[in-house]
Amino acid sequence: MGPKARKLSVVKNKVRELVAKEIKYISNLFPYNIKKFFNPSLIYSQNVLTFLNNDYPAASVFSPDFLYKLTNLLAGIELTAIGVNLHSFNTKDFMLLAGNRKFRQKNEKSYTLDLLFGDIFYSRAVVYFMEYEDFLIFNGILDSLKQAHKSKLFFHQQLIEAINKNVKYENQIEKLLDENLDLIIGINSLLKTSFIVGWALFADCEKVKFPASLINKFIMIKAYNDLEDFFNQIPEEASSLKKIKNISSPKNFIKGELNDIISNLKPDWLKANFKVLGRSYL
């Protein structure tokens, strides 16, 4: 491992340490399993660092001041991601939309623990963003959160309409996804923003164009993974809804497209970085 790789490893370990500290502190407020909402592989941080060329001037990237700011920026993004996961569409919401009276009576108009802890993580993330001292990045992250929540609401509405129709749910999910790709990408706006931040920080914009098509493939793979996890959590009594979980075919198709795009990516250092990143998604 070279000196740059070692310093990046130190940054990632420090980010994990900061996030773990926040999770432990917030968990002490109430006994709740927050760790399940955190991705220990630091996928958002990896997205940012994917655009860092090994030939990038060490003096500018690895100065103590910048490393401190970068560590805080990445920690802030990871904490924001936990907040997004806590605010994500859960099985109780889905059962409510599906017309299950028991779930509706229990959860209607309630401010849940997930929402509460999500708001707390958002507020904690701001502390770290302030250490980075860049209003444009902070504003971009705020915009991504607005887009994520707006897209989630609209996608919920599409689910309501699908559920209220007298059709087989298992035949509707792929159609629903195909017709709402923009909303699904919007729900994962923070993921896209992490790529944009990395490109803006490290890439030579004249030599490296932002690979929007490739990024959207990564977003779709994450979305399909999230959907599979979600439908696997549907209660057994909702057997007709559980059949929706069969979405592996379109996901595998996108994986093939992703690998093809990466293989043709230029320059070579960016191709190598995205191949490494792909292992965390695939």
Residue 169 has pLDDT above 80, yes or no: no
Tell me if 103 sits within 8 A of 74, measured CB to CB: no
Residues 6+ apart with CB under 8 A from 235: 91, 95
Q: In sequence order, what DSSP letters do the residues of 165-194 get, joined into one string?
A: SSS-GGGTHHHHHHHTHHHHHHHTHHHHHH
- Strand (E) positions, the chain? none
pTM: 0.87
Residue 53 has pLDDT above 80, yes or no: yes
* Span 194-208, average pLDDT: 90
* Span 43-54, average pLDDT: 91
* Distance of alpha carbon 136 from alpha carbon 154, whole angstroms: 27
Query: Which two structure tokens, joined as six digits, stand for 252?
Result: 């595998």
Which comes out higher in pLDDT, residue 115 or 71?
71
Tell me if 141 sits within 8 A of 129, measured CB to CB: yes
Residue 16 has pLDDT above 90, yes or no: yes
Identify residue 196 by its one-letter amino acid code.
Answer: I
pLDDT above 70 coverage of the chain, percent:
77
* Distance of alpha carbon 211 from alpha carbon 264, whole angstroms: 12
* Distance of alpha carbon 146 from alpha carbon 186, whole angstroms: 9
Of 98-102, 121-125, 152-156, 236-240, the one with minimum mean pLDDT is 98-102
Domains of the chain: 3-281 (1.10.600.10)
Backbone angle region of 266, left / alpha / beta, with phi > 0 → left and psi within -120 to 50 → alpha = beta
Residue 1 has pLDDT above 60, yes or no: no
The pLDDT value given to residue 104? 46
